[in-house]
Structure 1
Amino acid sequence: MKMLFMLRDAFIEANPKLIEEARTIGEVNVILTDQGIEKEELKREVADVDVIVVAIVNIDKEIIDAAANLKYIMKFGSGYDNIDHVYAREKGIPVTNVPGQNAEAVADHAFGLMLAAARHVTQKNQEMKSGKWELSMGFEIFNKRLGIIGFGNIGKAIARRANGFHMEISVYANHKDYDSAEKLGVKFVDLDELLSTSDTVVICTNLNEKTRNMINVETLSLMKPTAILINISRGGLVDEDALTEALKNKQLFAAGLDVFADEPTKSELAALTNVIATPHIGAATYEAIERIGDGALANLKRFAAREELANLVN
């Protein structure tokens, strides 16, 4: 069995046992993808593989067709919008993910971005390193209103943390888990109400054709000029041009962005002074990568043994 792992550089460094154990199952080739990979090179790499294990590289119809021997695609993480799982199903290729294992890491990062944006932490850090000592005014997040878009594992983990900050929590979600909402003190509202009343909005929903660019000129216009927008899900959920203009025109106070429409990003958005930008590191903790790696290895072993796969998404 020939396996191609396309993972971010730090994932391999953080969990070396992943590749070591995978090599006990079959032949392994590793491509580090922090800087992306050109499509033609990707086609050559997948030409004779049986299994693709992928983090953020797009596995579309063209790539699936280029992989003549492909029998299984595994998403190394939870969100699988970068994989054409519908076409894979048509070709009889199972696609699985490893859900829920990065939720605590991503929720931590959401609060890190929130606090940094509210208090200009990264800007002040850079100023201090250049010898500048200057006061700037920010906002508290304690006792403020938090809006969460999406209420899966990550949304719930964010709500748990928000309770520690005595935040009033509103949620917009298609799937309404009323039991969890009651336990976490969460109120379900429509999107317009969430955007117009929240002091901080955190996006942690799935990307699909219904949610693409859900944050756009119209929805941004509903937000408070003192509000902070946090996106730790997928860049395609936000119209980046509209957000750039809103931040330039001070329609919003700040944004904290871990994800971008194209990655690595060349967007002007990441360079704005009222944006805290990180390179899609929400799940990048030693603990989360070990948990995801364990789940990935378990499914690879099931596949090799022709057993039923866990977490089938197609």
Structure 2
Amino acid sequence: MKILLMLRDEFYQANPGLIEDAKKLGDVRILYTDQGIAKDELIKEVKDVDVILVAVVKIDQEVIDAAPKLKYILKHGAGYDNIDVEYAASKGIPVTNAPGVNAQSAADHAFGLMLAAARNIPQKDKEIKSGHWELSMGTEVYKKTLGIIGFGAIAKAVAKRATGFDMETLVYTNHRDLAEAEKLNVTFVDKEEIFKSSDYLVIATSLTAENRYLVNQETLSLMKPTAYIVNVSRGQLINEMDLMGALEEKWIKGAALDVFEVEPPINHLPGMREVVATPHIGGATFESIKRIGDLSIANIVKLMNGEELEHVVNGVHSRVTQR
């Protein structure tokens, strides 16, 4: 069994047990990918692997075709839009993810971003460290209207945290979980209402072809001039040029972004004063990385034993393999 690990660089140090456990199952090859990897290099690396455990590197048709021995692709996280799951299915290759495993970490980060933007925390920290002491006014989160796009594990965790701030919580989603909504005291609304009414709008939904650029000039124009957008999902859910225009024209107050359309970003959006930016670290906690690693190892063992895999996203069942 040859296992290729393509994770965020810090993940290896955060969870060294993953590498140790993987080595018990077969030969392990480690790639450090935070600075990107050229397609031709990636194709060389996958040519003899049985299993790929991947974070954000794109696994498309060309990469899959370059790996004739490939038996299994695991997403190190929940969102699997970087993997061509349909083409993998056509090749009989199962793809699994780790839904909800990093939800608590991402929800913590969403609230951290929200508070940082509301109180100008990054700007004030930078100023005071440079010797500049100046008062600035912020806005409260307490009893404000929180809008959440999506109602999966991360969104529900954000909604639960909002109860501690006495926030009114609105949710826009195509998947209405009425029982959970009642528990969390949230109200389902349509798309127009979520943009019109939110003081803080948290994006916590999976990226699909239908919701790409959900946040655009039209929807931004509906928002309050005092509103903030927080994105802990996928950068492609926001049209970044439209968001930059909305910030420059003061259609909204600010944005707090953990994800970008291109990572690292190639435009000036993260450098704008109205923006709090972090480098896609919503799920990057020691606790969540350990949970994802444990689930990944358990699923590789299941594959080797010909057992049913957990969290299959493309309908392909495990195939018996040899150690």
Same fold (TM over 0.5): yes
Q: How does 1:24-173 map to 2 (within 5 A)?
A: 24-173=24-173
Deviations 1:198-236 (A, max 9, x none): 100000001010010010110111111100000000001
Deviations 1:27-57 (A, max 9, x none): 1001111111111111111111111100011
Q: Structure 1: which 5+ runs fail to align?
A: none
2:160 aligned partner, one-letter code: R
In structure 2, C-alpha distance between the alignment counterparts of 1:40 and 1:248, rounded to whole Å: 40
Q: TM-score when scaled to structure 1?
A: 0.99
Q: CA deviation at 1:254?
A: 0.7
After superposing the two structures, state which structure 1 stretch, 258-267 or 141-150, moved more: 258-267
Partner of 2:216: 216
Identity of aligned residues (%): 58
Deviations 1:247-290 (A, max 9, x none): 12211111000001111222211111110100000001111111
**1:275 aligned to 2:272?**
no
Equivalent pairs counted in the alignment come to 314
In structure 1, C-alpha distance between the alignment counterparts of 2:251 and 2:132, rounded to whole Å: 28
**1:299 aligned to 2:304?**
no
* Helix, strand or coil at the partner of 1:12: helix
Residues 47 and 66 in structure 1, CA contact (< 8 A), matched pair in contact too? yes
* Helix, strand or coil at the partner of 2:270: helix
* Helix, strand or coil at the partner of 1:29: strand
In structure 2, C-alpha distance between the alignment counterparts of 1:289 and 1:198, rounded to whole Å: 32
Partner of 1:179: 179
In structure 1, C-alpha distance between the alignment counterparts of 2:264 and 2:305, rounded to whole Å: 37
Partner of 1:2: 2
In structure 1, C-alpha distance between the alignment counterparts of 2:133 and 2:249, rounded to whole Å: 26
Deviations 1:70-111 (A, max 9, x none): 111000111111100011101111000111110000000000
**1:193 aligned to 2:187?**
no
In structure 2, C-alpha distance between the alignment counterparts of 1:244 and 1:65, rounded to whole Å: 39
1:274 aligned partner, one-letter code: E
Partner of 2:239: 239
Partner of 2:22: 22
In structure 1, C-alpha distance between the alignment counterparts of 2:48 and 2:182, rounded to whole Å: 51
Q: CA deviation at 1:305?
A: 1.5
In structure 2, C-alpha distance between the alignment counterparts of 1:11 and 1:180, rounded to whole Å: 32
Q: CA deviation at 1:156?
A: 0.4
In structure 2, C-alpha distance between the alignment counterparts of 1:253 and 1:303, rounded to whole Å: 49
